[in-house]
């Protein structure tokens, strides 16, 4: 009489018997953006550095002021000498300039893989009855029209093929804000412009159906950047820096690198099935109703 083998005595199949996993992205231990050509508007120093460190062949840094671009170019040349870094000074809402930088990238490298539309302004902090129509239009022009123009020309270029890029595809990423998802997170013009950015990328995702080009938005919460520097400086002077970010579950503000890492993921093939999304990078603020610890009762 034979005894039935116990479960832990059953023969397990060899690893060779497993079907091979289907993959659309490269090795997770290798450069995530190997050989890609990327354009960034609005400086985006943290993102530009991660793009270069992640293996981009070329990174275009674009801003309407040349204040820090040359220094940033020199920094990347020192840290990542194998990456071509180009700087272009122009207004991100200037249609001719946006078209020109996209065409320059395609002409030089035969491809465009990533466009990060990061330019933006906050505008004046004022009540609804005090908002100036010209100020409102300027915020919409810089924050929303610039994204529309970037999407218009960048996604068309991403559909082009060449010997170095045999198939259509690419990643378009725009900076929105938690203010585009929730009220009371910024001035009315700023909030409206960021809601428009989210709508633009979601609409673009459907209009680009079948092309392999993806469109997504990142929605940062309170991040220490050039735009928010006055707020952080004032808090430090008052000794209240610890209160920044107290409305989100993590209880702190973020640094630009934390947003940049999400952008790198969206730019990479690892996010190949992520499309038409608004990624909140806000410490959990938009996940629920904001509250201040110890103030519930």
- Active-site residues, by number, are 190
Angle (CA) 188 190 195, round 5° = 95
DSSP-derived secondary structure letter, 165: B
* Number of C-beta neighbours around residue 188 at 10 A: 17
Contacts 24+ apart (CB under 8 A), 238-247: 245/221, 245/283, 246/292, 246/293, 247/285, 247/290, 247/291, 247/292
Q: Which of 229, 276, 285, 277 shows the shortest CA–CA distance to 252?
A: 285
Query: Burial letters for 79-118: b for 16+ Cβ neighbours within 10 Å, e otherwise?
Result: ebeebbbbbbebbbbeeebbbebbeebbeebebbbbbbbb
């Amino acid at each position: 009489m034979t005894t039935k083998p116990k479960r832990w005595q059953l023969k397990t199949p060899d690893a060779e018997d497993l079907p091979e996993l289907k993959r659309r992205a490269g090795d997770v231990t290798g450069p995530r953006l190997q050989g890609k050509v990327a354009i960034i508007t609005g400086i985006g120093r943290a993102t530009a550095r991660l793009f270069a460190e992640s293996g981009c062949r070329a990174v275009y840094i674009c801003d309407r002021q040349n204040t820090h671009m040359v220094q940033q170019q020199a920094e990347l040349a020192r840290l990542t000498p194998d990456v071509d870094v180009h700087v272009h000074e122009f207004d991100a809402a200037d249609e001719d300039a946006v078209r020109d930088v996209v065409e320059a990238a395609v002409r030089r490298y035969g491809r465009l893989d990533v466009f990060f539309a990061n330019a933006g302004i906050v505008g004046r902090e004022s009540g609804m009855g005090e908002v100036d129509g010209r100020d409102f239009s300027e915020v919409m022009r810089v924050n929303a029209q610039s994204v529309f123009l970037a999407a218009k020309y960048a996604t068309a270029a991403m559909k082009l093929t060449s010997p170095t890029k045999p198939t259509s595809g690419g990643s378009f990423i725009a900076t929105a804000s938690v203010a585009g998802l929730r009220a009371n997170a910024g001035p009315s013009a700023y909030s409206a412009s960021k809601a428009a950015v989210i709508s633009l990328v979601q609409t673009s995702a459907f209009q680009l159906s079948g092309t392999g080009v993806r469109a997504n938005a990142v929605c940062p919460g309170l991040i220490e950047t050039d735009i928010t520097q006055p707020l952080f400086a004032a808090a430090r002077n008052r000794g209240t820096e610890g209160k920044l970010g107290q409305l989100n579950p993590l209880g702190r503000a973020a640094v630009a690198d934390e947003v940049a890492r999400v952008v790198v993921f969206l730019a990479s093939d690892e996010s190949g099935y992520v499309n038409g999304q608004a990624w909140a990078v806000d410490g959990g603020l938009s996940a629920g109703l904001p509250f201040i610890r110890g103030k519930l009762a």
